[in-house]
């Protein structure tokens, strides 16, 4: 899977005396994540989500879910990541609309969560819909479009469809070369992903019916 950039949080005014406990916990979780302490950040994100869930601020509920969903995936809580991404999609759709870039980002995260627990067909179908929605609404060169297409290539590759994966990456690289400057992080990420092998870990959970993974080097040597 590509390294996913964090979904941007709602812009907030400077900290002050009126900061709610949920917002303080969200900020603290984000700070711990920035420092690289993922376990601590995860625990604070769980706490923030509980506080936000009992509050009335839709922005805080959204931001708490934005923080917790990828952290749960990173820590290895695949089922919690799935349910949090599912809630995040609902919150983002209600607050921003179905084709807003943040909602599309959340939907791409939910597709990855499906894929992580072996719901491969659903993941690919949902992500393909994110891609076509992003392309239609934001254009082929938009970050949301290129990220969805690149992620789709990774899903196909991990599910044993390298030819379709290569076609997706070729389209993404062509668009990136046309619209993005050399050195643009997204353009660099697309070329990096083109050189990456399929995820060995995914094979244990993959449910695609006709995979054609490359023969491992160890088998060739036997």
The number of beta carbons lying within 10 Å of the beta carbon of residue 83 is: 14
Least Å distance, CB 201 to Zn ion, is 11
Largest CA-CA distance found in the chain, in angstroms, rounded: 68
User: Are 207 and 197 within 8 A, CB to CB?
Assistant: no
Least Å distance, CB 93 to Zn ion, is 26
Least Å distance, CB 45 to Zn ion, is 27
Residue closer to Zn ion by CB (options 39, 212) is 212
- Give the tokens for residue 66: 């934005």
Site string for Zn ion, 197-216 (x = CB under 5 A): ---------x-x--------
Where do we find the tokens 């964090």? 6
Compute the distance between CA of residue 99 and CA of residue 140 in angstroms, rounded to an integer: 14
The size of the interface with Zn ion (CB under 5 A), counted in residues, is 4
The number of beta carbons lying within 10 Å of the beta carbon of residue 220 is: 8
Compute the distance between CA of residue 220 and CA of residue 2 in angstroms, rounded to an integer: 28
User: Are 26 and 11 within 8 A, CB to CB?
Assistant: no
Q: Residues 78 to 137: which contact Zn ion by CB under 5 A?
A: 120
Residue closer to Zn ion by CB (options 209, 221) is 209
User: Are 206 and 160 within 8 A, CB to CB?
Assistant: yes
Site string for Zn ion, 126-165 (x = CB under 5 A): ---------------------------------x------
Residue closer to Zn ion by CB (options 113, 206) is 206
Residue closer to Zn ion by CB (options 185, 216) is 216
The full length of the chain comes to: 222
Residue closer to Zn ion by CB (options 153, 206) is 206
N-terminal to C-terminal alpha carbon distance within the chain: 29
Least Å distance, CB 175 to Zn ion, is 25
Least Å distance, CB 198 to Zn ion, is 10
Which residues of this protein are in contact with Zn ion, per CB under 5 A? 120, 159, 206, 208
């Amino acid at each position: 899977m590509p390294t996913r950039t964090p979904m941007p949080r709602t812009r907030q005014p400077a900290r002050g005396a009126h900061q709610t406990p949920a917002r303080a916990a969200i900020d603290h979780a984000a700070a711990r994540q920035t420092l690289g302490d993922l376990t601590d950040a995860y625990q604070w994100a769980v706490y923030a989500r509980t506080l936000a869930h009992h509050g009335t601020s839709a922005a805080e509920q959204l931001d708490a879910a934005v923080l917790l969903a990828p952290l749960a995936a990173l820590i290895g809580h695949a089922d919690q990541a799935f349910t949090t991404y599912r809630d995040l999609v609902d919150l983002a759709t209600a607050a921003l609309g179905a084709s807003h870039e943040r909602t599309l980002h959340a939907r791409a995260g939910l597709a990855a969560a499906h894929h992580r627990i072996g719901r491969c067909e659903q993941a690919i179908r949902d992500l393909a819909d994110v891609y076509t929605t992003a392309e239609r609404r934001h254009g082929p060169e938009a970050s949301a479009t290129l990220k969805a297409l690149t992620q789709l290539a990774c899903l196909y590759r991990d599910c044993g469809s390298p030819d379709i994966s290569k076609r997706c990456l070729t389209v993404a690289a062509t668009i990136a070369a046309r619209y993005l400057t050399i050195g643009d992080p997204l353009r660099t990420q697309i070329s990096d992903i083109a050189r990456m092998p399929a995820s060995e870990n995914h094979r244990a959970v993959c449910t695609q019916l006709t995979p054609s993974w490359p023969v491992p080097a160890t088998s060739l040597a036997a």
